[in-house]
Amino acid sequence: METSLNHNIDKFALHFEKNRLSYCGQDCQKIPPTLWKMYGNKVNCLDLSYNSIETLKGLENFTLLEELILDNNKLGDSVYFPLMPRLKTLSINNNQITDLDGLVQKISEKFPSLTYLSLLSNKACPNELSDLDKDDTDYQRYRYFVLYKVRNLRFLDSRRVSAVEYREAMTRGQFMRVRRPPAEPGPTSPAGPAARPLPVDFDSLGKHKGAYGKCLYKYTGKHSEGNRFILNSDL
Domain holding 93, by residue range, is 2-179+200-234
Give the dihedral of Cα atoms 228, 70, 166, 66; nearest 10 deg. Answer: -100
- Residue 46 confidence (pLDDT): 97
Instruction: Give me the phi and psi of 157, to 5 degrees please.
Output: 55, -120
pLDDT tens digits along 75-110: 999 999 999 999 999 999 999 999 999 999 999 999
Which CATH number covers residue 152?
A: 3.80.10.10
Give the pLDDT mean for 161-166.
Answer: 94
Are residues 118 and 91 in contact, defined by beta-carbon separation less than 8 angstroms? yes
Q: For residue 72, give the amino acid letter.
A: N
Q: pLDDT tens-digit profile of 172-213?
A: 766 556 555 454 554 544 444 444 444 444 444 444 343 333
pLDDT of residue 13: 78
Q: Is residue 193 part of a domain?
A: no
Higher pLDDT, 65 or 205: 65
Q: Give the per-residue pLDDT at 2.
A: 42
CA-angle at 109, arms to 106 and 110, nearest 5°: 80
Predicted pLDDT at 127: 72
Q: Count the domains in the chain.
A: 1
**Which of the pair, 92 or 235, is modelled with greater confidence?**
92
Asked whether the predicted pLDDT for residue 9 surpasses 70, the reply is: no
The CA angle 70-75-81, to the nearest 5 degrees, is 75
Which has the closest alpha carbon to 172: 148, 138, 196, 202?
A: 148
**In the prediction, which pLDDT does 177 show?**
64
Rounded to an integer, the average pLDDT of 36-53 is: 96
Residue 187 is assigned to a structural domain of this protein: no
Measured between alpha carbons, how far is 64 from 31 in angstroms, rounded to an integer? 16
**Cα dist from 199 to 11, 89, 149, whole Å:** 25, 22, 31
As a whole number of angstroms, the distance between CA 68 and CA 215 comes to: 18
Q: What is the DSSP string of 112-179?
A: TT--EEE-TTSTTS--TTT-TT--HHHHHHHHHHHHHHSTT-SEETTEEPPHHHHHHHHHHGGG----
Per-residue pLDDT at 69: 98
Q: What's the full length of the chain, in residues?
A: 235
Whether 23 is covered by a domain: the verdict is yes
Percent of the chain with pLDDT over 90: 59
Dihedral, 145, 150, 153, 157 alpha carbons, nearest 10:
-50
CB 127 within 8 A of CB 134: yes
Residues 169-207 as b or e (16 or more Cβ within 10 Å = b): beeebeebebeeeeeeeeeeeeeeeeeebbeeeeeebbe
> Which pLDDT does position 88 carry in this prediction?
98
Residue 113 domain-assigned (yes or no): yes
Share of the chain above pLDDT 70, in %: 65
- The model's pLDDT over 124-139, given as tens digits with 9 standing for 90+, comes to 998 765 566 666 888 9
Beta bridge partner(s), residue 22: 15, 47
Q: Give the C-alpha separation, 78 to 130, whole Å.
A: 21
28 vs 55: CA distance, rounded Å:
10
Which range, of 20-34, 90-104, 212-226, averages the lowest pLDDT? Answer: 212-226
For the whole model, what pTM was predicted?
A: 0.72
pLDDT of residue 172: 73
